[in-house]
Structure 1
Amino acid sequence: MLYSTACHIFRYPLITSNLSRSLIGQKISRVNCIASAFRGFSDTKIELPPSASFLQNDGSATVVLLGTVHFSKQSVEDVSQIVKSLNPNGIMIELCRQRVSLLELDDKKFLEDAKKFDAKKLRQAVKGQNFVSGMLHAMLLKTYADLAKELGVAPGGEFRRAYHEMKKIPGCKLFLGDRPIQITIARAFQSLSVIELGQVLFHLTNSKPKPIDKYQLEKYKSKDFVQAQFEEITREVPAFKKIFHVFVDERDKCLAFSLQECVRAVEKPRVLAVVGMGHVDGIMKYYGKMRQEDIVPLLLIPPTPVYWVILRATIKFTFYFLIFSFIYRLIFG
C-alpha cells in the first residue's frame, strides 16, 4: 500500500537541476491560451496499445492519450510504438518545469545510486525543505530507490523516451503539461487539518510496503485496479480524499487544459499525451471543457491556516522555554 500511495500521490522525485537552454527554449512550449472545444471522434487506422486511446480523431485534430505505469518497461515501449504509428507534431508529458531535469536523468547512474541509497544521501536530498515537505520527499525517494533496485528501472523512462522520440521528428514540439510540484504540495498540505495531517503522516510512516515485481506493476494499467487502490487507501485514511483531490483531480484539470493548448499550438495537430494511468479518466472527462478562468484558481497557494501559524509558534516558544529551563537549572542548580 505504501507503494501505491506514493505512486498515486507523488508522481516523480522532486529533481530541480536545470536543463540546458536548448531544451527549455525551442523544444518545450509554454501553455498560455484557451483551446478550441472538443469536436468529436472518428475511426482511424492508427494502431494503439491497450493502454492508449483516442481522445480526439476528426478533421481538425488527432489526439492520442497514453496511460503509463511508472517503472514499467512496457510503458516505455508503448511510447515508441505510438510515435512510430502517429508521427506526432506535438507531445505532451506529465512533467512541470521543476521536474524537467528528469528528461536528462542517467538511468545507469540512478540505478547505481539507488543501490547505495543511505541516510546521508537522504538528508542531502531534503536539505532546505520544511519538516513536512522534507519528510514526504524523503519517503518518496526511499520508495523510488527501493523500486528501482527491485525492478531495475529508473523513474520517468516513458517521458525520456517521449523526449528522445520527439527530437527525431522535424518540427515536433514537447509540452510540459503538469502544474508546478511546489504548488501541488502546498495546496495538499494546506487542505488538511492538524488531525488529518497527523493521520496521513502516521499511515505513511507505519505502512508496510507490499513486495512488487514487474508482473504486479502491470496491473496498474487497469483503470479499475487503480480505482480500487484509491478506494482502499481512502477507506483506511479518509484524509487521503483531500490529498487525492489536489494531486489527482486538480491536476487532471491542469493536464486537460495543457493538452487543449498543445492541440491549439500546432498546425494540423497530431498530438500524443503521455500521463500516468491514474490521470486518464480525469483527462477524458475534462478535455475540451477547461477554460483559463477555471485553471487560474488551481495555480494559487492558499494562505497558511491560522491553526498552523499558532501550532508553529507554540512549538517554537516551547523549544525556547525548554532551553531556558535547562540553562537556568545548570546555573542555579
Structure 2
Amino acid sequence: MRYQTCNIVRQLVVRYKFEDQLFKYQRICSPVWPIITRGAGDNSISPLPSSATLLQNDKDAKVVLLGTVHFSKQSVQDVTEVVNVLKPNAILVELCRQRVSLLELDDKKFLEDAKNFDAKKLKQAVKGQNFVSGMLHAMLLKTYADIAKELGVAPGGEFRRAYHEMKKIPGCKLFLGDRPIQITIARAFQSLSVLELGQVLYHLTTANPKPLDKSQLEKYKDKDYVQAQFEQITKEVPAFKKIFHVFVDERDRCLAFSLQECVRTVEKPRVLAVVGMGHVDGIIKYYGKMKQEDIVPLLFVPPRPYYMVLIRKGLRFTFYFLVFSFFYRLFFG
C-alpha cells in the first residue's frame, strides 16, 4: 500500500517545481503578478482538448482552464493546441514568484543536475529555512530529482510552453497565479499535530514506490482516478487530509481568485489558465466567488504550534545541561 501513497504524494509535490535555489519570500501581496506584455487576436472558440474546460464564454470574457499532468509531453502539446484555438491576450500559470525561474529552465541542464543531485545542492536549496520547513522542502526537491531521473523529462514543460507561446502573441500578458511555496509548506506543517507529523514523515521516508511509467502519467488527467488516489492515501494516513487541504483546496481558492483578478484587469479578456489537473475541479467550484477578504488569511503563516515551542525549549535546555555536565566533570571529576 505504501508505494501507492508515495506515488500520489509525488504527483502532488511535482506541482512545485525544482529550482537551483529557493528565493526567500519577503512580502505579502496579491497572488496575481502580471510580468510580461505582448497581445492577441479575437477568434471564436473552437473544439478544445478533453483536458480543457471552457470556464467562461460570454460578452465579458472567454476563459479556458487547461488541466495538465506535470512531466507529461502531451500536456505540453495541449498548451499549444489551446493557444492556437483561443488566441489569448492573457495566460495564467500555476507558479509563484519564488518559482518563476522555472520558465527559463534549461531542460538539459536540469536533467544533468538531477542525476548529480547531492547533499551540497540540497543544503544550498534549503538555506535560510528553519529545520522542519527545510526538511520538508528538501524532500520535495529530492522527489523532483528522482522523477526527472526516472522519466528523463524536466518538470514544468507545460508552463515553459505557455510562456514561449505568450511571447509570440503581441500584447499578451503572463500572470503568476499561485501562492508562495514557503507559505504553503509552512501552513501544511503547522496544520499537523506532532503525532500526525510523525505519521506523515514515517510514510514518506519508508514508502517504496514503483518506478514511474510515462504511459501511466496520462491517467492523472482522469479526475476520478486522481480522486481515488487521494482517497486511498487519506484512508492509509488520515493526516494527509490536512496536507491536501493546504496544498490543494487552499491553493484552489488562491488560483481561482488570481484568475478572477486576471480577467478583471485585462481588457476584452481571452484568458488561458494552465494548472495541474488536481486543481481543475476546485477552480471551477470557486471561480467567480472569491473575494479579497477570503484570500488574505491564506497568505499568512499561523503561529507556531505549542509543541514546536516546547521542543525548541527542550532542545535548548538539554544543550545547556550537557554543557554544564561537561564542565562539572572537567573541574570536579
SS at match of 1:27: strand
Q: State the number of aligned residues.
A: 314
CA spacing shift, 1:57–1:212, aligned 2, 3 Å: same
Could you tell me whether the CA contact under 8 Å between 2:178 and 2:255 is conserved in 1? yes
Q: Which amino acid in 1 is paired with 2:80?
A: S
CA spacing shift, 1:3–1:129, aligned 2, 3 Å: farther
Question: In structure 1, how many angstroms separate the alpha carbons of the residues matched to 2:331 and 2:239?
Answer: 47
Could you tell me whether the CA contact under 8 Å between 1:17 and 1:101 is conserved in 2? no
SS at match of 2:174: strand
Could you tell me whether the CA contact under 8 Å between 1:9 and 1:244 is conserved in 2? no
CA offsets per residue over residues 204-224 of structure 1, 9 Å max, x none? Answer: 111112211111111111111
Q: Which amino acid in 2 is paired with 1:321?
A: F
Could you tell me whether the CA contact under 8 Å between 2:34 and 2:175 is conserved in 1? no
When structure 1 is superposed on structure 2, of 51-60 and 125-134 the one drifting more is 125-134
Question: In structure 1, how many angstroms separate the alpha carbons of the residues matched to 2:223 and 2:12?
Answer: 12
Could you tell me whether the CA contact under 8 Å between 1:90 and 1:174 is conserved in 2? yes
Question: In structure 2, how many angstroms separate the alpha carbons of the residues matched to 1:218 and 1:154?
Answer: 16
Matches within 5 A, 1:109-148: 109-148=109-148
Report the equivalent of 2:191: 191
Q: Which amino acid in 1 is paired with 2:307?
A: Y
Question: In structure 2, how many angstroms separate the alpha carbons of the residues matched to 1:119 and 1:199?
Answer: 25
Matches within 5 A, 1:4-153: 4-9=8-13, 11-13=15-17, 15=19, 16=22, 26-27=35-36, 45-153=45-153
Q: CA deviation at 1:323?
A: 3.4
Does residue 204 (structure 1) correspond to residue 204 (structure 2)? The answer is yes
Could you tell me whether the CA contact under 8 Å between 2:136 and 2:185 is conserved in 1? no
CA spacing shift, 1:148–1:9, aligned 2, 3 Å: closer
CA offsets per residue over residues 253-288 of structure 1, 9 Å max, x none? Answer: 110011011111112111100000110000000001
Could you tell me whether the CA contact under 8 Å between 2:177 and 2:258 is conserved in 1? yes
Q: CA deviation at 1:123?
A: 2.5
Report the equivalent of 2:30: none
Q: CA deviation at 1:327?
A: 4.1
Report the equivalent of 1:230: 230
Q: CA deviation at 1:135?
A: 1.5
Could you tell me whether the CA contact under 8 Å between 1:188 and 1:243 is conserved in 2? yes
Q: Which amino acid in 2 is paired with 1:190?
A: Q
Question: In structure 2, how many angstroms separate the alpha carbons of the residues matched to 1:301 and 1:10?
Answer: 22
Could you tell me whether the CA contact under 8 Å between 2:18 and 2:155 is conserved in 1? no
Question: In structure 2, how many angstroms separate the alpha carbons of the residues matched to 1:197 and 1:327?
Answer: 36
Question: In structure 1, how many angstroms separate the alpha carbons of the residues matched to 2:131 and 2:110?
Answer: 25
Does residue 2 (structure 1) correspond to residue 6 (structure 2)? The answer is yes
Question: In structure 2, how many angstroms separate the alpha carbons of the residues matched to 1:304 and 1:188?
Answer: 12
Does residue 163 (structure 1) correspond to residue 183 (structure 2)? The answer is no
TM-score (norm 2): 0.89
Q: CA deviation at 1:331?
A: 4.6
Q: Which amino acid in 2 is paired with 1:264?
A: R
Question: In structure 1, how many angstroms separate the alpha carbons of the residues matched to 2:306 and 2:295?
Answer: 26
CA spacing shift, 1:26–1:140, aligned 2, 3 Å: closer
Moved >6 Å (runs of 4+): none
Q: Which amino acid in 1 is paired with 2:250?
A: E
Could you tell me whether the CA contact under 8 Å between 1:94 and 1:178 is conserved in 2? yes
CA spacing shift, 1:94–1:214, aligned 2, 3 Å: same
Could you tell me whether the CA contact under 8 Å between 1:186 and 1:301 is conserved in 2? yes
Question: In structure 2, how many angstroms separate the alpha carbons of the residues matched to 1:330 and 1:277?
Answer: 63
Question: In structure 2, how many angstroms separate the alpha carbons of the residues matched to 1:231 and 1:319?
Answer: 43
Could you tell me whether the CA contact under 8 Å between 1:196 and 1:239 is conserved in 2? yes
Could you tell me whether the CA contact under 8 Å between 1:260 and 1:288 is conserved in 2? yes
SS at match of 2:153: coil
Report the equivalent of 1:283: 283
The sequence identity of aligned pairs, in percent, is 77
| Root mean square deviation of aligned Cα | 2.0
Q: Which amino acid in 1 is paired with 2:85?
A: S
When structure 1 is superposed on structure 2, of 186-195 and 63-72 the one drifting more is 186-195
Q: Which structure 1 residue ranges, 5 or more long, are not aligned?
A: 19-23, 29-43
Q: CA deviation at 1:104?
A: 1.0
SS at match of 2:271: strand
Q: CA deviation at 1:228?
A: 1.0
Could you tell me whether the CA contact under 8 Å between 2:34 and 2:174 is conserved in 1? no
Could you tell me whether the CA contact under 8 Å between 1:9 and 1:248 is conserved in 2? no
Q: CA deviation at 1:130?
A: 1.6
Q: Which structure 2 residue ranges, 5 or more long, are not aligned?
A: 25-32, 38-43
CA offsets per residue over residues 78-110 of structure 1, 9 Å max, x none? Answer: 101110111100100000111111111111100
CA offsets per residue over residues 193-249 of structure 1, 9 Å max, x none? Answer: 111111111111111122111111111111111111111111111111111111110
Q: CA deviation at 1:324?
A: 3.0
Report the equivalent of 1:21: none
